[in-house]
Structure 1
């Protein structure tokens, strides 16, 4: 049975905004057609369910840490990243029931907030059963770590075994961050490239101390390594920023998501894009404010015409898992147009995860999810509201 939904504005994402447009959908939410108001009238469609608001496809959360869901409210705000990492290590619990319950609540929260697909960071097996049974699509980034060059091969072997245990989930083995992965471990990942099942992800320049560590071997990361009991006497700084140091170590053939980018400069962007043609740039603004009380230079990133996606990070570093809330903050601070934000939050994420055949836009044959978002109009601009209703 076909039903018809209309709203003040429909955002197909891959086409122009349609005022008072109509979506034709089947009982499972598959898009059968998208009509303008005039086309719907010409077809004499009468069974239309009208809404005040914006109809948009489901959101794609390209950076989340489900395994930190039980740390909500436990870590102080504004500590800076190195101190935040210490808090995470000290606060993690081995109580599987507690963690499973927290992850389930987080999964339900994302579903209710209109998120249809998630790129999730995993270091354990514990989220596997939830991901298999969830109505949300999950792609798992299995993080690998090891700053000691002598341990690179062992770390890679453990990751490959872990990946096999996560079957049948879609999984890529990815570097955690440049300060936690040696050049030798990057080489191991590069050698494994042909066996990857999807794109890569890496935390990038989330704190000023990251650049200080690579440029001069200074900053709070030295204290973090002491806290971890790791001797890094062997390490010699490159004299370059973090991004300019590690980006040549990544395969330019694989789609790669750089996450956070809080302290990424225009020079970093120019260098990275000159040698890596498949970069995507994930913004997690509420987590950046929670940890560093800082935001990326969003207008610089926009000017560079980058493929930007959005993420929520974890409940350890955010008060909620809502892509709409991330867009609200970006619109408030940087006046990003609604249609641009929605492309970041929907299509770019689906394209990065290579799931755009189903998600990412209102097009015939897709089942991308349907969200109704409230809005206001100010000076001729559509401004996103705070409320969302998931229709499918």
Structure 2
């Protein structure tokens, strides 16, 4: 038994197909073929809009879902981080209920896989029963060399909890350049050879200030937290150019946010072939607006043929966990100059490739089971304010 789907447009993960194409799947959603409507026979389900493979949310903090509506918007990253730390102490029952609601929103709005940041084991119970696919990034931080090994061992304990209770992939990953010491970066390089990892990259200008001149807002954050950074020496380079050389063991790295990434940074990456690191640049545009009121240099990333993917970040820094709302913001910011098909590719096949799931998700190719999502209220392949995404299968 099969199901047959058609719409005004079908996006297959790479391009919008010719009109009158029909997607054929098994009842469970495995792709059988895409054929012309004239050859498809009867019982074709028609959707007035666009059909796309399921979305890949490449960056989320599901365990922070209990912070929805708690963190004040537009404060800048340093104040945001301090608010998150201040509001961590809630009951596990409250956290679990918030995570369940977050997963439900992602599922219903078309997400099929999530790159999820984990600082605790709080989300294991959710993921044991989840219909979504998860790659769990166990975040490691520690800005002074003195506590680097202790912090790494703590993260390894959480890593073991995940690997012992879940069949999903798990990776150790550095939190951000402003929270990881040189020794910790070196240790993580050794621990993550040939693995997929992630890092928050250049989310605010203060991150570059820290590495270039040992100045900026992070100095007050360290003081407030009682962190002695007298041993930290600025590199005179941007944070990106300072942390990237640590990873030379064939890692694939999801660089998240990139709000203050420059052409010089991209040129630096292109010249560093010996690092053998494959980078994907993850956009979380609504979170950037929520925290810093600034968007990343999307056009610059496009011109450099960077591999772009999309995430939502968390309820702590976003109004929703809906990938289509991220796509809307990108289209609006570009005044419609970026084709919808290109942005959808970032959210589907690019994201699947980044999370190393392209053998099963991201595109309507034979035997894949990528999920099927319907987007309505389009205007000539442009999203409108009324456009919404809904999972079909």
Q: Distance in 1 between matches of 2:235 and 2:160?
A: 35
Structure 2 segments unaligned to the other structure (5+ residues): none
Write the mapping of 1:312-327 to structure 2, written as runs, cut at 5 A. Answer: 312-327=312-327
Write the mapping of 1:104-119 to structure 2, written as runs, cut at 5 A. Answer: 104-119=100-115
Aligned in 2, Cα 1:28/1:271: closer, same or farther, shift over 3 Å? Answer: same
Instruction: Find the counterpart in structure 2 of residue 228 from structure 1.
Output: 225
Q: Distance in 2 between matches of 1:91 and 1:159?
A: 21
Instruction: Find the counterpart in structure 2 of residue 360 from structure 1.
Output: 362
**In the alignment, structure 1 residue 158 sits paired with structure 2 residue 154:** yes
Write the mapping of 1:367-378 to structure 2, written as runs, cut at 5 A. Answer: 367-378=369-380
CA contact (8 A) 1:375 1:383 kept: no
Q: 86, 90, 94: which is aligned to 1:90? A: 86
Structure 1 window deviating more from structure 2 (76-85 vs 147-156): it is: 147-156
Q: 330, 343, 346: which is aligned to 2:345? A: 343
Q: Distance in 1 between matches of 2:40 and 2:4?
A: 12
Instruction: Find the counterpart in structure 2 of residue 213 from structure 1.
Output: 210
CA contact (8 A) 1:252 1:278 kept: no
- SS of the equivalent of 1:329 reads helix
Residue by residue, what CA displacement relative to the aligned partner does 1:48-78 show, whole Å, maximum 9, x if unpaired?
A: 1111110000000000001110111111111
- SS of the equivalent of 2:97 reads helix
- SS of the equivalent of 1:383 reads coil
Instruction: Find the counterpart in structure 2 of residue 262 from structure 1.
Output: 259
Normalization by structure 2: what TM-score?
Answer: 0.95
Displacement of 1:244 in angstroms is 0.7
Q: Distance in 2 between matches of 1:327 and 1:252?
A: 33
Residue by residue, what CA displacement relative to the aligned partner does 1:170-227 show, whole Å, maximum 9, x if unpaired?
A: 1100000011000100111112134x7x401000000011111111111110011112
Aligned in 2, Cα 1:180/1:219: closer, same or farther, shift over 3 Å? Answer: same
Q: Distance in 2 between matches of 1:66 and 1:141?
A: 11
Displacement of 1:136 in angstroms is 0.5
Q: Distance in 2 between matches of 1:390 and 1:12?
A: 15
- SS of the equivalent of 1:235 reads coil
Displacement of 1:155 in angstroms is 2.1
Residue by residue, what CA displacement relative to the aligned partner does 1:63-99 show, whole Å, maximum 9, x if unpaired?
A: 0001110111111111000000010011112310000
Q: Distance in 2 between matches of 1:158 and 1:208?
A: 30
Normalization by structure 1: what TM-score?
Answer: 0.95
Displacement of 1:46 in angstroms is 1.6
Residue by residue, what CA displacement relative to the aligned partner does 1:114-155 show, whole Å, maximum 9, x if unpaired?
A: 000000000000101111210010110000011111222222
Q: Distance in 2 between matches of 1:113 and 1:11?
A: 17
Aligned in 2, Cα 1:44/1:117: closer, same or farther, shift over 3 Å? Answer: closer
Q: Distance in 1 between matches of 2:234 and 2:50?
A: 50
CA contact (8 A) 1:8 1:21 kept: no
Q: Distance in 1 between matches of 2:16 and 2:44?
A: 21
CA contact (8 A) 2:172 2:192 kept: no
Consecutive aligned runs of 4 or more in structure 1 exceeding 4 Å deviation: none
Aligned in 2, Cα 1:274/1:375: closer, same or farther, shift over 3 Å? Answer: farther
Instruction: Find the counterpart in structure 1 of residue 241 from structure 2.
Output: 244
Q: Distance in 2 between matches of 1:161 and 1:95?
A: 22
Instruction: Find the counterpart in structure 2 of residue 51 from structure 1.
Output: 47
Residue by residue, what CA displacement relative to the aligned partner does 1:309-366 show, whole Å, maximum 9, x if unpaired?
A: 0000000000000100000000011132111001100111100111111100001111
CA contact (8 A) 2:171 2:192 kept: no
- SS of the equivalent of 2:295 reads coil
Q: CA RMSD in A?
A: 1.3
Displacement of 1:111 in angstroms is 0.2
- SS of the equivalent of 2:71 reads coil
- SS of the equivalent of 1:376 reads coil
**In the alignment, structure 1 residue 148 sits paired with structure 2 residue 144:** yes
**In the alignment, structure 1 residue 127 sits paired with structure 2 residue 123:** yes
Instruction: Find the counterpart in structure 2 of residue 199 from structure 1.
Output: 196
CA contact (8 A) 2:190 2:249 kept: no
Q: Distance in 1 between matches of 2:10 and 2:355?
A: 24
